[in-house]
Structure 1
């Protein structure tokens, strides 16, 4: 059985848009997608879908009477999945598996049903089937009229890359030739943001920030800024999926050259160790057949928290020592999309390899220039969830 896995398509819907051309254009400017939003009458900062994507979601809801009762996580996943299989050339006659997960699941709809229950003492008929985690892949399968296995899971923020690992395992086991994998998240609700604030990891910088914090006003999520004095994580919404196929395909956008995964002993409910042992293990596993000098870029998890960004950086230093690749993240631009974030990072990696252009973080002082003779040939993508569930994926072209 071939060990080569091709990514034949990748698609997303996020604050960056919903088509690869628009997404790449937005990646090339230094503007972020974070805006002020009122939740429960309180001003907060979030990264919402762009206007065009919001209209697409609303049109999807109106296209089928059954879709009106679905959570945004399901609708986001449907839009991204439709585009992904279309770009890959898959049809409903193809047998392919689906594994799309979420960290929070149907948060918005669940909170709505619970509020109604507190007010009336009664639960809606569809309250349970439309808020289960398996709801995402099941509805995507229905929408695509697929006949393969349907799997959903939650491994917090590393969910999408764990879906990728699962798809690779099925393909390499010979159980199917094609797998649609990814994550979807719609966490911009009062209660979800309140939970992040309770953990004291959410950005509390408002638009009227005092002058000494002007840099935080310009870039309220300071992901990968190792000198920041406070946590600056901000939530975003969206979904991203990719089509995996066994073997080296002519239409491949990139290849999965290595995969790694690890967990570590919990020091705290949300923490990872000071030097991110889980990341060290996952990166070493993904890179075990690779000369470290061949890795051009690392797309870091880097959620914008003080300890999260720093511990991942220390783990990279431990693995790569003085030969650090170029480092980047997209959370300063689109926020942290929880279970979808890993696949959105894969998308950024694929786009950088396609266009042979490094997308950095605008407020960082150290800027490394890409060697035009070398180009970008190999990119490592990191993701981790609460409790140290790390995943590393090595991409190549």
Structure 2
């Protein structure tokens, strides 16, 4: 079995569109949540989101090319290009049949779909773009990345809702470990902040309605949390066999050593209240990594800021870690950039890599009163500097999909 390392990372997020900006704002406890200004929210219960700012698709690829890509595919491609640059991968000097792309999206090209529905209603079916389907399908980002890279290896677009990022990273880890590829670009991308989706999530009472205090709306583990904050972006990482990375003298940022997946088998949208699936995903990930619970230094929690979700995840941690549950540091990145849905796992994996590299755990902001049922070692309101070797990252999604990855500081 081959060892698997991370050699490049790329991020598009409400906290910045490059890894350094994203990481610095995370460590400083800054919020990327604001009032939505891209459409009329006057009739919506929720008027806030984590919106990507300063992203110039036309400046990056030109007007014609940018218009061929839905926003979610633009984000995914931009993150992959960043990851490619950091990895120092020279595509003309590697076997492209050994390069894969595992990048998924939960909702896909909803912007393109809504736009073309409006075109049809206003101008008739003859005016609907023939490019709608290839723009809106969820595998469009993975396909576009593969095309740009000339990557001829395995290409997948996992759809496991909000656990997509970890699913992609974990499955890529397995593929490289088992020799199916040398290099895989893995992660998730999402751009679903539309009036339709915000209305739907809002009517389901899943979103925070703390519209007068956007920066304080996402508050995992706080007793007064009232729902998640929807956000957008992409997180893509380059996973590579250690031997391949060493051979080409690539920058090695971290090592991937474990992956676990499970299903709640409980409900389409509600988390299992006892956290059974979350427990199993973490358990399997640690078993694969051959890491004991007393070796885990930090958990990057899924923690979306919902009452049931946060509590069930903490119940799972207590069950798995037992008497040591209150000794492992826990942080929730979504407190700062909101819930990026299918892109969340990729973004949080990037944050965990940087934590392990720098020995800093970003804070969970907006904790005024800790929920007694979440009474573990939450890194609250300010970053913590500490020696770190092993980190566990959780991602869970609608339908009961759960995935967890284990990362190790590379020495």
TM-score w.r.t. length of structure 2:
0.87
Kindly indicate whether the alpha-carbon contact (under 8 Å) linking 1:60 and 1:75 is maintained by their aligned counterparts in 2.
no
- Match of 1:292? 293
Aligned residue pairs total 380
Between 168-177 and 108-117, the greater mean CA deviation after superposition = 168-177
What SS class does the counterpart of residue 157 from structure 1 fall into?
helix
Counterparts of 1:30 and 1:240, CA distance in 2: 19
- Taking structure 1 as reference, are residues 367 and 130 closer, same or farther at Cα in structure 2, changes over 3 Å only? closer
Q: Deviations over 1:5-60 (max 9, x none)?
A: 10111111111112222122211223211111146521510111132xx23x2313
- Match of 1:388? 400
What SS class does the counterpart of residue 184 from structure 2 fall into?
strand
- Taking structure 1 as reference, are residues 348 and 279 closer, same or farther at Cα in structure 2, changes over 3 Å only? same
Is 1:312 matched up with 2:313? yes
- Match of 2:53? 50
Structure 1 vs Structure 2 CA RMSD: 2.0
Q: Shift in Å at residue 170 of structure 1?
A: 1.7
Between 116-125 and 98-107, the greater mean CA deviation after superposition = 116-125
Q: Deviations over 1:60-114 (max 9, x none)?
A: 3526x23312101111111111110121122333321011100110011111111
- Taking structure 1 as reference, are residues 105 and 357 closer, same or farther at Cα in structure 2, changes over 3 Å only? same
Spell out the pairing of 1:187-206 with structure 2 (5 A cutoff).
187-206=192-211
Q: Select the residue among 100, 103, 117 that pairs with 1:100.
A: 103
- Match of 1:223? 220
TM-score w.r.t. length of structure 1:
0.90
Counterparts of 1:301 and 1:125, CA distance in 2: 38
Q: Deviations over 1:256-284 (max 9, x none)?
A: 12111111222x32012111111111111
Q: Shift in Å at residue 116 of structure 1?
A: 1.2
- Match of 2:373? none
What SS class does the counterpart of residue 343 from structure 2 fall into?
helix
Between 295-304 and 115-124, the greater mean CA deviation after superposition = 115-124
Counterparts of 1:370 and 1:120, CA distance in 2: 53
Kindly indicate whether the alpha-carbon contact (under 8 Å) linking 2:392 and 2:405 is maintained by their aligned counterparts in 1.
yes
Spell out the pairing of 1:28-177 with structure 2 (5 A cutoff).
28-38=27-37, 40-43=39-42, 44-51=47-54, 54-55=55-56, 57-62=57-62, 65-93=64-92, 94=94, 95=96, 96-122=99-125, 123-177=128-182
Unpaired runs of 5+ residues, structure 1, are: 208-215
Kindly indicate whether the alpha-carbon contact (under 8 Å) linking 1:240 and 1:344 is maintained by their aligned counterparts in 2.
yes
Q: Shift in Å at residue 370 of structure 1?
A: 9.4
Q: Shift in Å at residue 348 of structure 1?
A: 0.9
Unpaired runs of 5+ residues, structure 2, are: 371-376
Q: Shift in Å at residue 367 of structure 1?
A: 5.8
Bigger fraction of residues in helix: 2
- Match of 1:354? 357
